[in-house]
Amino acid sequence: MPLTSLASPAASAAVDLERLAQDYRPALAQVVLQLDDVRRTLRDQLGHDPVEHVSWRLKSPDSILAKARRKRIALCEEGLRREMLDLAGLRLVCAFLSDLREVRNAVLALPGITLLDERDYVRHPKASGYRALHLIVEVPVHRADGAHGAVVEIQLRSVAMDFWACLEHRLAYRHHGRPPVRVAASLRRAAALARALDESMDRIRDHARSHVHAPQRELAPVGSS
């Protein structure tokens, strides 16, 4: 199929994009429900709820068409299910950087969840400065015609990561997907500050938990060497 036809009404008629996206709704609902158990278990283990908030989304037909054209994905149901792994997305925003690994391990321990791929943008940030953990998982969904696996992308971010990513997303779209060089450089510097903030808040939490009755030492401010 020519790429020029991917975004056309005639091309989209070949597959019901709205129905395709809605097929993933039960998988999202199942994971969201299971997350309640994860948060209760981690609250008991860690002494606090590590998840600040949860959001989810199903990719819109317009977004599906745009990504199919951009990534050269054939606009057929089989191709979209196989190659577009973020038709269904779940985002977990954690209070602290160190909470990400705890939540990641607990999510992957959920019954029925199968890890297909993992992208660690915390240890290896994107060139833009973006940081997060991305988990591509398969979730079993039971329907009238039998059990099927649905792929869900789970993003784990700290509060600082989420703050940076949300504003970077707005600025990128304002500049048609690619910010000017000076803006991009400023965003990378802001990402470095967000990373320093994450690390500083972890140190402050550890210090607050230590209850060491010793002469108090002021913690180094964010960005100091």
Tokens encoding 72: 């050269």
Tokens encoding 67: 């990504």
Q: 129 with 192: CB under 8 angstroms?
A: yes
DSSP bridge partners of 157 = 93
Residue-by-residue DSSP string for 123-146: TS--TT----EEEEEEEEEEETTE
Instruction: Report the SS3 class of residue 120.
Output: strand
Q: Is 153 a catalytic residue?
A: yes
86: CB partners within 8 A, 6+ apart: 59, 153
- The reported pLDDT for the residue numbered 223 is 62
Catalytic residue among 83, 102, 153, 199: 153
Q: Can you tell me the mean pLDDT for 52-81?
A: 91
Start-to-end CA distance of the chain, whole Å, equals 55
**What would the pLDDT profile of 161-191 be if each residue is shown by its tens digit?**
999 999 998 887 665 667 788 988 999 999 9
**Looking at domain 3-159, does it have CATH number 3.30.460.10?**
yes
Average pLDDT of the chain, as a whole number:
85
> CA–CA separation, 3 vs 169, rounded Å?
26
**Residue whose structure tokens are 């401010």:** 221
**What would the pLDDT profile of 108-148 be if each residue is shown by its tens digit?**
999 999 999 999 999 999 999 999 999 999 998 876 666 67
Ramachandran sector of residue 24 (left: φ over 0; alpha: ψ -120 to 50; beta: rest): alpha
